[in-house]
Amino acid sequence: MQSVCLIVGASGAIGQSIAKKFSEKGYSLILHYQQNEKAISDLSVELPEKSILQIIQADLSTPSGIEGFCEKLTLPIEVVIFAGGKNLYKLYQDVTNQDMDEMYHLHVKTPWVVTKHLLPSMIQRKSGHIVLISSIWGEVGASCEVIYSSVKGAQDSFVKALAKEVAPSGIQVNGIRPGYIDTKMNNHIHETERDSIQEEIPLGRFGTPEEVAALASFLTSRDASYIQGQLINVNGAWSG
């Protein structure tokens, strides 16, 4: 049986690019999505026949949704990539308790619980890769994105701590911190502000989902066998 890659948040632009990249590498895929069924359907048409083992719809913004999702993960998984979640752009004093709960469950509790569910099998096989798609805001923080920055910072700490614990078992844990990637997640930014940001980026352009997927592919390859517990920025040298 081919190695299995689980992509949490496969309906987003980055998740779709990761799915395409790993199908090219010969992985069998388990694709998760929360709402965008059309994106998953379109992706399924683009991917090679029989490359998708399972498609799982689950709302990971609640404890019951996370637990129900884990119950459907019954196959041995070699690679899990957490590419899901959402942004929250508003003044901190306007953030509701519900906002906080949803962001916590999507970005922090989901990686915690899903990883705990998958680890026994990985430890038994002495093999596995865990990759979290974080954000540069987890490192430097962003105004009007306090909650998003906070949960991404928690992801970064999770990567660094878990990597130390599971390294002796042959499991690699790393993270990717994208900068400004040209996806729908940034649609809330006004065009004039987008232009200003692009001028600030030393490379002079926005990143692409494919560039994030390429790094995820590298981090799970043999060429990256000594990279452990790292958060790698994909930002064109822009620090926000």
If DSSP codes are grouped into helix, strand and coil, which group holds residue 55? strand
% of residues, the chain, pLDDT over 90:
92
- For 170-187, write each residue's pLDDT tens digit: 999 999 999 999 887 777
- Picking from 186, 213, 208, the residue whose alpha carbon sits closest to that of residue 15 is 213
Maximum CA extent, the chain:
53
Per-residue pLDDT of the chain (240 residues; tens, 9 = 90+): 689 999 999 999 999 999 999 999 999 999 999 999 999 999 999 999 899 999 999 999 999 999 999 999 999 999 999 999 999 999 999 999 999 999 999 999 999 999 999 999 999 999 999 999 999 999 999 999 999 999 999 999 999 999 999 999 999 999 999 999 988 777 767 788 888 999 999 999 999 999 999 999 999 999 999 999 999 999 999 987
Catalytic residues: 148
- For 137-180, write each residue's pLDDT tens digit: 999 999 999 999 999 999 999 999 999 999 999 999 999 999 99
Backbone angles phi, psi at 232, to 5 degrees: -105, 125
CA distance 230 to 191: 33
CA distance 81 to 114: 11
- What structural domains and CATH numbers belong to the chain? 4-234 (3.40.50.720)
